[in-house]
């Protein structure tokens, strides 16, 4: 997976002893904030530790969920992978190098749809294909195909304002997947949706991802959410984070069977699922109780 | 009852049934009130003038304005003035909007240029531009250039400020998305920054037309060989007040027509804004 891959499949040379696709090595992120003027009239600065001592390795093809309350640095971690933020100290390695912008092999989806309101649904999906040098015909065909995949056939020529929130996130999903990137960064993609729409979209996303599973290219997913249930439901591995400063509290493999896409509704009520979420929840609560403890052992 | 495919059929609740006639009633009421106010105003004016409560030579009267409109508006002189003013307004609108928008875009996109030139904008823009009319007339003579320069000096700054803030207020999420997707420089500008500035810039252009008209007419009033501004001065100094009002009505009509055109253009260009 090179930094700049053209349309063709990336040359993924799988080494016999696989080195991780992503690694965070003792990553710290400090934001210097301009604080309001104090009594002396001096406008001081305040340091905000967004991430502290993050050590994570993610292997190619893994579906990893980052869970945690707002402000624990989840978005910052995704931004680091996208090359939008560079760590204050420590090292982020993506496919052997430091992430750089733009990486054509990344799809990044946001909580807010970030659709261009002056473009139709189809033209929005075409956007990443334009920067990747696809020609008109190819772009149109691909965009139609992607919109159909996310259940928006017939909505190609509608503008953002003419679509419901669920539909907007579908378009955003189609755009994220359109160029077939091998790394998906998902930042609370379904957080703004109502429970029903959310479940439908989770299932659709998982179905699309799981279909690639047996194939030559299984996408790596880093899925940020503040919803523990969603994390356990979708991911192979759940990393629980804590805020102030942002750090990792728990890192656990979820061994629920796959494919899950078709039974998401039922899985939620299985004992196995309940046990895992309950357990993680308790760990989370325990970790909050003993703040000074920092990261839990792996 | 026909079933509309576009919108869901309204629920047949009592509230729904009552709400519609009420909205309809209030709209008619408002329109009637408007017409009534206009008619009452004109009638009062007419009566006041006829009864000698106000001097007709100073205040005119609606019936007189009507006659003057019929006489003046089709006259050769009027058409000539309209042509002179119209041409100057058109030229200053085009020059002012293009240069102002470009300047604003450049300032909005370049922090360096913005910090150099930005501080000059507000002070220059606070000079009452009409006060510069005699200067421009001295420099350029009784030409169209003098009028255009004055109008452009107003329009330019409005649009610079407008375009600058339009470019700077591009949604942060859209910018992040665009950068991640791989848009850079020219393509970022063309595909994200400019389109998102269009609605704001359109609102600015609409305002600008009125200011271009203002600048040109004001310049003509100070000194010019022709134009509606000149006519206003001539007719008011010879106490042909009804003709002055006729010209004002004409100016108003021009502004209204232009506003319609802007609305139509906006509707076509910004279809995506309508849900
Ligand atoms: N560009 C920035 N400048 C200053 N502070 C920031 C910036 N980005 C994030 N932060 C702060 O860092 C912390 C972590 O932010 P974020 O990564 O967005 O958390 P999360 O996505 O988990 O809610 C928050 O307190 C946030 O206010
Ligand atoms: Mg976030």
What pLDDT digit, counting tens, does each position of A37-59 carry?
A: 655 656 678 889 999 999 999 99
Mean pLDDT for A180-194 is: 92
User: Do B84 and B161 share a domain, yes or no?
Assistant: yes
Sheet holding A247-253, edge to edge: A106-109, A183-187, A220-225, A63-68, A237-242, A247-253
Q: Which of A54, A70, A75 to mutate to test the pocket of ligand 1 (most atoms within 8 A of CB)?
A: A75
User: Do B130 and B266 share a domain, yes or no?
Assistant: yes
Q: How far is C-alpha A172 from the chain's CA centre?
A: 13
User: Do B42 and B145 share a domain, yes or no?
Assistant: no
User: Do B98 and B218 share a domain, yes or no?
Assistant: yes
Q: Work out the minimum CA distance from B196 to partner chain A, whole angstroms.
A: 8
Q: Is A31 in the pocket of ligand 1 (CB under 6 A)?
A: yes
Q: Give a yes or no: residue B77 inside a domain.
A: yes
Using the predicted structure, report yes or no on whether residue A149 has a pLDDT greater than 80.
Answer: yes
| ipTM exceeds 0.85 | no
What pLDDT digit, counting tens, does each position of A252-298 carry?
A: 999 888 888 888 888 888 998 999 999 888 877 766 655 544 444 44
pLDDT value at residue A44: 77
Q: Give a yes or no: residue B7 inside a domain.
A: no
What pLDDT digit, counting tens, does each position of B113-172 carry?
A: 999 999 999 899 899 999 999 999 999 999 999 999 999 999 999 999 999 999 888 999
Mean pLDDT for B176-182 is: 94
What pLDDT digit, counting tens, does each position of A151-183 carry?
A: 999 999 999 999 999 999 999 999 999 999 999
| φ, ψ of residue B217 in degrees (nearest 5) | -65, -40
User: Do B126 and B154 share a domain, yes or no?
Assistant: yes
pLDDT value at residue A9: 41
- Number of alpha helices (DSSP H) and beta strands (DSSP E) in chain A: 8, 9
How many structural domains are present in chain B?
A: 2
A62 vs B268, residue with greater confidence: A62
Q: Give a yes or no: residue B263 inside a domain.
A: yes
A134 CB near a chain B CB, below 8 Å? no
- Of the pLDDT bands very low, low, confident and very high (cuts 50, 70, 90), residue A2 is very low
pLDDT value at residue B190: 93
Sheet holding A89-94, edge to edge: A45-58, A22-34, A89-94
Q: Is A75 in the pocket of ligand 1 (CB under 6 A)?
A: yes
Q: Do B271 and A159 touch (CB under 8 A)?
A: yes
User: Do B47 and B77 share a domain, yes or no?
Assistant: no
Q: Where are the alpha helices (DSSP H) in B110-193?
A: 111-125, 133-140, 144-168, 172-181, 185-188
Mean pLDDT for B201-218 is: 91
The DSSP code sequence of A60-89 is: TT-EEEEEE-TTSSHHHHHHHHHTSS--SE
User: Do B217 and B144 share a domain, yes or no?
Assistant: yes
CATH code matching the domain that covers A46-105+182-288, chosen among 3.30.1370.140, 3.40.50.300, 3.90.420.10, 1.10.287.3510: 3.40.50.300
User: Do B196 and B266 share a domain, yes or no?
Assistant: yes
Supply A49's token pair.
């530790």
DSSP, collapsed to helix, strand or coil, labels residue A32 as: strand
CATH number of the domain encompassing residue B155: 1.10.3720.10
DSSP, collapsed to helix, strand or coil, labels residue A110 as: coil
- What residues pack around ion ligand 2 (CB closer than 5 A)? A 75
- Of the pLDDT bands very low, low, confident and very high (cuts 50, 70, 90), residue B38 is very high
Q: Which of A73, A244, A248 to mutate to test the pocket of ligand 1 (most atoms within 8 A of CB)?
A: A73
- Contact between B93 and B246 (Cβ < 8 Å): no
List the domain boundaries for chain A: 46-105+182-288, 114-181
Mean pLDDT for B37-65 is: 93
Q: Do B184 and A161 touch (CB under 8 A)?
A: no
Mean pLDDT for B73-86 is: 93
Domain boundaries, position B42: 26-55
pLDDT value at residue A285: 72
**Helix (H) or strand (E) segment spanning residue B210:** helix B194-222
- Of the pLDDT bands very low, low, confident and very high (cuts 50, 70, 90), residue A12 is very low
pLDDT value at residue A241: 92
- Contact between A120 and A159 (Cβ < 8 Å): yes
């Amino acid at each position: 997976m090179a930094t700049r891959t053209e349309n063709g499949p990336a040359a993924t040379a799988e080494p016999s002893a696989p080195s991780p696709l992503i690694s965070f090595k003792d990553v710290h992120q400090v934001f210097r904030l301009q604080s309001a003027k104090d009594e002396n009239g001096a406008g001081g600065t305040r340091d905000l530790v967004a991430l502290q001592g993050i050590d994570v390795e993610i292997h190619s093809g893994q579906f990893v969920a980052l869970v945690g309350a707002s402000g624990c640095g989840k978005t910052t971690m995704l931004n680091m992978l996208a090359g939008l933020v560079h760590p204050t100290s420590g090292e982020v390695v993506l496919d052997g190098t430091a992430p750089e912008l733009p990486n054509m092999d990344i799809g990044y989806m946001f909580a807010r749809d970030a659709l261009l309101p002056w473009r139709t649904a189809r033209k929005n999906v075409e956007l990443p294909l334009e920067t990747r040098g696809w020609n008109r015909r190819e772009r149109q065909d691909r965009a139609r195909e992607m919109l159909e995949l996310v259940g928006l056939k017939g909505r190609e020529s509608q503008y953002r304002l003419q679509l419901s929130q669920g539909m907007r996130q579908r378009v955003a999903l189609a755009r994220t997947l359109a160029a077939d990137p091998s790394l998906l960064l998902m930042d609370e993609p379904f957080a703004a949706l109502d429970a029903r729409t959310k479940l439908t979209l989770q299932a659709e996303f998982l179905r699309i991802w799981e279909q690639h599973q047996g194939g030559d290219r299984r996408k790596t997913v880093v899925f940020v959410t503040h919803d523990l249930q969603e994390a356990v439901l979708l991911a192979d591995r759940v990393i629980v984070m804590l805020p102030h400063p942002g750090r990792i509290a728990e890192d656990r493999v979820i061994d629920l069977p796959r494919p899950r896409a078709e039974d998401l509704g039922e899985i939620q009520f299985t004992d196995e699922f309940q046990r895992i979420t309950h357990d993680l929840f308790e760990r989370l609560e325990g970790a909050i109780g003993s703040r000074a403890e920092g990261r839990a052992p792996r | 009852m026909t079933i509309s495919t576009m919108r869901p059929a309204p629920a047949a609740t009592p509230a729904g049934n009552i709400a519609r006639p009420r909205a309809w009633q209030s709209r008619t009421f408002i329109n009637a009130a408007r017409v009534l106010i206009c008619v009452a105003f004109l009638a009062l004016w007419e009566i006041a003038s006829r009864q000698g409560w106000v001097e007709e030579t100073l205040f005119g009267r609606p019936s007189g304005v009507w006659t003057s409109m019929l006489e003046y508006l089709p006259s050769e002189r009027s058409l000539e003035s309209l042509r002179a003013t119209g041409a100057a307004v058109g030229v200053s609108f085009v020059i002012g909007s293009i240069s102002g928008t470009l300047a604003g875009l450049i300032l909005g996109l370049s922090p360096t240029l913005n910090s150099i030139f930005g501080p000059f904008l507000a002070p220059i823009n606070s000079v009452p531009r009409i006060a510069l009319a005699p200067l421009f007339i001295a420099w350029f003579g009784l030409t169209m250039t003098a009028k255009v320069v004055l109008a452009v000096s107003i329009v330019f700054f409005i649009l610079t400020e407008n375009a600058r803030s339009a470019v700077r207020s591009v949604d942060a999420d859209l910018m992040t998305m665009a950068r991640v997707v791989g848009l850079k420089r020219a393509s970022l500008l063309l595909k994200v920054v400019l389109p998102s500035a269009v609605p704001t810039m359109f609102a600015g252009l609409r305002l600008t037309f009125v200011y271009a008209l203002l600048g040109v007419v004001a310049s003509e009033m100070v000194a010019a060989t022709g134009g509606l501004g000149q006519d206003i001065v001539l007719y008011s100094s010879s106490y042909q007040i009804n003709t002055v009002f006729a010209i004002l009505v004409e100016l108003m009509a021009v502004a209204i027509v232009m506003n319609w055109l802007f609305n139509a253009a906006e509707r076509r260009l910004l279809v995506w804004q309508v849900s």
